[in-house]
Chain A
Amino acid sequence: MVAADSEGPRDPGVRMFRRERSIPLRGSAAALGNNLCVLHLPVCNLTHFGVVHGPSAQLLSVAPEGVPLAQRQLHAKEGPGLSSPLITQVHWCALPFRVLLVLTSHRGIQMYESDGSVMVYWHALDSRDASPDSTQAVFARGIASCGHFICVGMWSGRVLVFDIPLKGPNIVLSEELAAHPASVTDIASEPAQEPDCMADVVTADDSGLLCVWWSGPEFKLLTRIPGFGVPCNSVQLWKGIVAAGYGNGQVRLYEASTGALHVQINAHARAVCALDLAPGVGKLLSAAEDTFVHIWKLSKSRESGCTEVEHCHGECVPDTQLCGARFCDPSGSSFAVTGYDLTEILRFSSE
């Protein structure tokens, strides 16, 4: 691996990542946060990509060299309302026994088998939940799986917890968590790092508040980390550390169990739109509307218990307001990004 180029002048000759073949999209990516999801299938050496265009989302199956093999378009289910509903997010949930594709929109929550071929569950947003003077738009946003649960956030700040059976469509809404005063933006989870930390789910909202949960038989709120009004658009959880990307371009790392701030990075000049993790190697990817992608190496010092961050790589996608970014493999040696108005998924990989 090439050494990290965090200090000193950058040598333009030493590039850690090179542009790979782009994957063309039928429709441009919408200006949403977290607008790229990736499902890596090592068994058949295929990678699935999902991007939201607007009222539709596109799923693609791609071979190793970036050659698209198959694609499918999904639409938000219509319901009462004026125009065709917009999709807010699409995300693969890898549960221990199955993978489901979840799609959230301004009408509700749709769950499909992982290739998007069959819808197994539909949850309509209750219009009665809307505020009486309807000064707020109604939508679902923020998707993550945790054990045998799938958590989905709502415009109201509530988080719906669905119990997923081993197979079949018998999905049940088991709990509604009410801890956020503002619309949920993103949800992340990781297997609990017992005994050090029970926290395994973190939810984020438009006010910047982070809620850290333990997903027992019933979810329990462990910590609240305020955001002081700056929206938190994307969140990740790694070894008991919460990584959060904010609307003012900062990426902050907190101790999940206590809420203590460990690291503050002035990472971007515009809102962070996506974060992703390569958990095995402790790499964090941040993308923002300032056209930049940065890769960070996270580590926990055993003695001090402090978290350390090292900048590994920065990439500029000229004139593109990024809206999604993901690592494409568990080692973090390749990543993909989407941008507003861009009709392709850009791919980068290192040697």
Chain B
Amino acid sequence: MSVRTLPLLFLNLGGEMLYILDQRLRAQNIPGDKARRDEWTEVDRKRVLHDIVLTMFNKSFIEELLKPQELYSKKALRTIYDRLAHASIMRLNQASMDKLYDLMTMALKYQVLLCPRPKDVLLVTYNHLDAIKGLIHDNPPLLHLVDETFRQLIEVYGCLSAGEFQLIRQTLLTFFQDLHIRVSIFLKDKVQNSNGRFVLPVTGPVPWGTEVPGLIRMFNSKGEEVRRVKFPHGGNYVIAPKEGSFEVYGDRVLKLGTNMYSVNRPMETHTSGTSKNLASQTQQSIAPNPLAKEELNFLARLMGGMEITKPSGSEPGFRLNLFTTDEEEEQAALTRPEELSHEVVNIQATQDQQRNQELARIMGEFEVKDQPRWSASKGDDLLAMMDEL
């Protein structure tokens, strides 16, 4: 499929992650002077968001991301978000991280599916970037970093054809195929049905560049129109008012990709009853993949550019719960259907230090949970690690 999809996937999912974390942190906000040592304050919230944005828009990371490449597996991508979410003092349990990722992916699936034109996926991306800039508006160097990425995106995507955008959209939809997790906020807004499928409205403005359906025009061999007939097309469409802006600053017109979370909106997800269609999908992710080595190398390259700030000194990591109570979080972890567990890759140091210098360097900054395993073949070593997850 398209080799230009990864940056859009990454930035949009990252944007959704920031919306959710921002909302969640605000919901748990305690006034600074009244907070205990382990409670969230406004200052903490800003710090978490700034740290994540700083990591996400790291110059060499974005550079690596923008290189033409195939989309990697869901597993590999999930690992990056795991790391990103832990780029600051915040800590998430597995259950909360799973829920966060479910919300992120379903939101983006919705946005891509409802994009009027394939090229509008770019407007969705720009909406996310605009909102991210809003979150860090009081940090000029960070703003500059995001603007830099903006400019690079315009350079890469500005000249792509409608056909290439169509391929990008198809690639994104393939990535999201068979995901039907029900999200409360979508169910309440009636944009998702109870079976997990999104509602595709047949009303509203047509995409920019499309005519309202319902007309047949017939011409003679001289090119003169000889007849025009209306037909009942079944929908209730109107002409598109104007085109969204693809510049760094501008009215995007499209609302998809803007922040739909406000402090009081619920963000439950329902994972039961969604396992039916996953059989084919999970068969792919569970089977040992002989090309997993390449994926790990990709992660190493990508995260080599991702500088992770460790919590310094005696500061404790602040835990964020995506659920309303700790008990709920525990319960969610226990009842999560097996097929939906997002397996996370734990990259371990290996014997061949020179070959994996990059990996080793990154490992120095990560929390190493297990002892490294040594075996004769380095390839087997890496694969065995994938298997044991």
Contacts and interface: CB of A to CB of B under 8 A. Distances in A.
Nearest to A32: B170
Contacts of A10: 232
Most buried by A among B3, B166, B227: B166
Nearest to A316: B234
B212 A86 contact: no
A311 to B, nearest CB: 4
Interface in B262-320: 277, 280, 284, 291, 294-295
A30 B174 contact: yes
A63 interface: no
A134 B3 contact: yes
Given A137-B2, A137-B3, A319-B200, A266 B163 contact: no
Nearest to A6: B231
B355 interface: no
A350 interface: no
Interface stretch (B11-19, B214-222, B329-337, B340-348): B214-222
Interface in B68-98: 68, 70-73
A242 B197 CA distance: 36
Nearest to A230: B162
Interface in A270-293: 270-271, 290-292
Interface string B199-243: 110100011011111111111110100110111111101000000
B277 A291 contact: no
B2 A262 contact: no
Nearest to B216: A265
B339 interface: no
Contact of A249 (B170, B180, B213, B218): B213
Contact of B202 (A5, A9, A231, A291): A291
B177 interface: yes
B185 interface: no
Contacts of A294: 231, 233
B29 interface: no
B162 A292 contact: no
A340 B173 contact: yes
Interface residues on B, range: 35 or more
A82 B72 contact: yes
A54 B231 CA distance: 36
B294 A28 contact: no
Contacts of A183: 163, 167
A7 B230 CA distance: 7
Interface in A33-57: 53-56
A185 to B, nearest CB: 8
Interface residues on A, range: 35 or more
A84 interface: yes
Interface in A306-351: 306-311, 314, 316, 318-321, 340-341, 343
Given A306-B218, A340-B177, A267 B233 contact: yes
A27 B68 CA distance: 29
B142 interface: no
A170 interface: no
Contact of A82 (B2, B70, B197): B70
A200 interface: no
Contact of A28 (B226, B229, B277): B277
A136 interface: yes
Contacts of B2: 137
B163 A31 contact: no
Contact of B68 (A6, A106, A133): A133
A263 B216 contact: yes
Interface in A1-41: 5-7, 9-10, 26-28, 30-32
A244 to B, nearest CB: 14
A292 B234 contact: yes
A247 interface: yes
B163 A182 contact: yes
B211 A53 contact: no
A114 interface: no
Contacts of B118: 247, 271
B169 to A, nearest CB: 8
Contacts of A307: 218
A247 B71 CA distance: 24
A309 B216 contact: yes
Contact of B280 (A53, A182, A264, A291): A53
A67 interface: no
Interface in A214-264: 229-231, 233, 247-250, 255, 258, 260-264
A84 B285 CA distance: 11
Contact of B174 (A86, A262, A265, A291): A86
Contacts of A207: 161, 163
A262 B177 contact: no
Contacts of A306: 218-221, 226
B200 to A, nearest CB: 5
A207 B206 CA distance: 21
B64 interface: no
A308 B180 CA distance: 43
Interface string A107-120: 00000000000000
B302 to A, nearest CB: 14
23 contacts: A6-B232, A54-B280, A82-B72, A83-B73, A83-B291, A86-B1, A135-B3, A182-B161, A206-B161, A231-B163, A260-B221, A260-B223, A261-B219, A265-B215, A266-B211, A266-B212, A267-B213, A292-B233, A316-B202, A319-B193, A321-B200, A340-B177, A343-B277
Interface of A: 5-7, 9-10, 26-28, 30-32, 53-56, 81-84, 86, 106, 133-137, 139, 182-183, 185, 205-207, 229-231, 233, 247-250, 255, 258, 260-271, 290-292, 294, 304-311, 314, 316, 318-321, 340-341, 343
For the complex of A and B, list the 7 residue pairs with the smallest distance between their C-beta atoms, beginning with the closest. Answer: A206-B163, A311-B231, A31-B173, A266-B211, A27-B280, A231-B163, A248-B210
Given A6-B232, A206-B164, 7 more contacts: A7-B229, A9-B232, A30-B177, A135-B3, A137-B1, A229-B162, A269-B206
Interface of B: 1-4, 68, 70-73, 113, 116, 118, 161-164, 166-167, 169-170, 173-174, 177-178, 180, 193, 197-200, 202, 206-207, 209-221, 223, 226-227, 229-235, 237, 277, 280, 284, 291, 294-295
